[in-house]
């Protein structure tokens, strides 16, 4: 397929759908999947992944920003959308107009949404965010029942759920996560005892989906798992999820260099022998970190070849001395599978001292996306 550029992201939508169904099968029968598609669906493509997830049976989708949610509405997505990030009061009108649910944790914000809904003659939809130990967004767990009681008195406002988020569900030691579980359940019990518990609750991120079944509640919020990335080592064997994204490019130039000649900026690499260098037209402006400089490998003709020199803004160099048949136009795989070899997001994250989330979310919008196994489907 012509992309207009010899570097691109390839996304297997059938893998996304497989992963949604695998996650759903791992939960109880009354639990639904809320697919997390923030940050351009972790680099995979916001609209396309949202649609694929919904076709596979997801209840709705979650974003980080109202602008992401609005883009989905503008694209015709009609399913429930929850924005996980804390909104500004000034954004309430947009949330209400586009029927987007907001995550709130204080009364003044709830009142702003109520007033926006009254002005528009609509109902504002909100989820009460409860901080059980993340120390980030939301009302403290012990204060949540009282806040909920006050919010429920506001007109034109519907509290659809209570939620929380785990700090360490992916850690080897689950003690702190269990403390958060207990805090959330105590909070829900206090709400129920007062007759004010919201109709639904949700807490489980990818790691908690696998390790904390007691918090599957009414729906779960897969991020990494949706994209086939294990949230902790060994998790891939639990559900059999499939990675959906590959990062590829084509060689645009091959040249011979002599032993001792430099490659790229700053004399960062000198040829250890006479050999050949190939140019890959993709760089740090595309989200391929400079920490890959002189560090790591790519796949070429089913073999691993080393990165040489610094990653440039728009290109980088690989040594193809041991692949004598390498030529202009050959496909290079930076992330994904070629033949029997695979480079995973975890491998790249390890060598660049980051996490898989960043490896994927950093992939720039200027990289064309090619979607495979796309189906006709509902909204």
The CATH number for 31's domain is 3.20.20.10
Dihedral sign computed on CA atoms, order 223, 36, 148, 210: negative
233 contact partners, CB below 8 Å, separation of at least 6: 346
Task: Look at residue 237 in the predicted model and tell me its pLDDT.
Answer: 74
Q: What CA–CA distance (Å, rounded) separates 49 from 348? A: 23
Same domain? 219 vs 145: yes
Task: Look at residue 2 in the predicted model and tell me its pLDDT.
Answer: 60
User: Which of 192, 226, 260 is at the close of a domain?
Assistant: 226
Residue with tokens 């019990």: 189
In 317-363, alpha helices (H): 345-351, 356-361
User: Which of 194, 226, 258 is at the close of a domain?
Assistant: 226
Range of the domain at 323: 245-372
pTM: predicted TM-score of the whole model, two decimal places: 0.94
Residue with tokens 């000034």: 90
Q: What single-letter DSSP state applies at residue 316?
A: E
Same domain? 166 vs 260: no
pLDDT tens profile 173-220 = 999 999 999 999 999 999 999 999 899 999 999 999 999 999 999 999
pLDDT tens profile 326-351 = 999 999 999 999 999 999 999 999 99
Task: Look at residue 233 in the predicted model and tell me its pLDDT.
Answer: 86
Structure tokens at 179: 């403390």
Same domain? 158 vs 191: yes
Same domain? 128 vs 268: no
User: Which of 199, 226, 253 is at the close of a domain?
Assistant: 226
Helix, strand or coil for residue 135?
coil
Question: Phi and psi at residue 176, in whole multiples of 5°?
Answer: -70, -40
pLDDT tens profile 271-312 = 999 999 999 999 999 999 999 999 999 999 999 999 999 999
Residue 46 pLDDT greater than 80, yes or no: yes
Nearest-Å Rg of the Cα atoms of the chain is 24
Query: Is there a domain that residue 110 lies in?
Result: yes
Same domain? 64 vs 151: yes
291 contact partners, CB below 8 Å, separation of at least 6: 351, 352, 353, 354
Q: What CA–CA distance (Å, rounded) separates 196 from 208? A: 26
Q: What CA–CA distance (Å, rounded) separates 52 from 369? A: 15
Query: Is there a domain that residue 276 lies in?
Result: yes
Structure tokens at 43: 């680099």
Catalytic residues: 38, 265
Same domain? 269 vs 161: no
Query: Is there a domain that residue 239 lies in?
Result: no
Query: Is there a domain that residue 379 lies in?
Result: no
* CATH code of the domain containing 250: 2.40.37.10
- Which among 92, 83, 36, 81 is positioned nearest to 64, based on CA atoms? 83
Task: Look at residue 1 in the predicted model and tell me its pLDDT.
Answer: 54
Query: Is there a domain that residue 240 lies in?
Result: no
Query: Is there a domain that residue 2 lies in?
Result: no
- Structural domain tally of the chain? 2
């Amino acid at each position: 397929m012509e992309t207009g550029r010899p570097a691109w992201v390839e996304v297997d939508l059938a893998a996304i759908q497989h992963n949604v169904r695998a996650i759903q099968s791992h939960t109880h029968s009354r639990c639904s999947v809320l697919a997390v598609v923030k940050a351009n669906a972790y680099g995979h493509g916001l609209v396309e992944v949202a649609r694929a997830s919904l076709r596979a049976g997801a209840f709705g989708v979650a974003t980080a920003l109202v602008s992401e949610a609005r883009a989905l509405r503008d694209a015709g997505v009609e399913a429930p959308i929850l924005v996980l990030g804390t909104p500004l009061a000034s954004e309430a009108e947009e949330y209400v107009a586009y029927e987007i649910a907001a995550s709130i944790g204080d009364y003044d914000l709830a009142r702003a949404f109520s007033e926006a809904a009254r002005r528009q003659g609509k109902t504002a939809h909100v989820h009460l965010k409860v901080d059980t130990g993340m120390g980030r967004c939301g009302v403290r767990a012990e204060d949540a029942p009282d806040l909920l009681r006050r919010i429920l008195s506001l007109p034109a406002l519907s509290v659809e759920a209570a939620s929380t988020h785990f700090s360490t569900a992916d850690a080897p030691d689950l003690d702190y996560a269990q403390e958060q579980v207990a805090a959330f359940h105590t909070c829900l019990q206090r709400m129920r005892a007062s007759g004010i518990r919201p109709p639904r609750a949700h807490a489980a991120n990818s790691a908690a989906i696998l390790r904390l079944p007691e918090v599957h509640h009414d729906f779960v919020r897969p991020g990494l798992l949706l994209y086939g990335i294990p949230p902790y080592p060994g998790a891939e064997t639990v559900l059999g999820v499939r990675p959906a994204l590959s990062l590829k490019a084509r060689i645009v130039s091959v040249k011979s260099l002599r032993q001792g000649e430099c490659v790229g900026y700053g004399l960062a690499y000198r040829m250890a022998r006479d050999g050949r260098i190939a140019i890959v037209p993709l760089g740090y402006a595309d989200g391929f970190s400079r920490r890959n400089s002189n560090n790591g490998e790519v796949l070429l003709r089913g073999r691993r070849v080393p990165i040489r020199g610094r990653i440039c803004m728009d290109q980088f160099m690989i040594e193809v001395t041991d692949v004598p048949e390498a030529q202009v136009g050959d496909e290079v795989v930076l992330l994904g599978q070629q033949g029997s070899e695979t480079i995973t997001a975890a491998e790249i994250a390890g060598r660049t001292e980051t996490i898989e989330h960043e490896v994927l979310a950093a992939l720039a919008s200027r990289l064309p996306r090619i979607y495979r196994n796309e189906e006709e489907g509902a909204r």
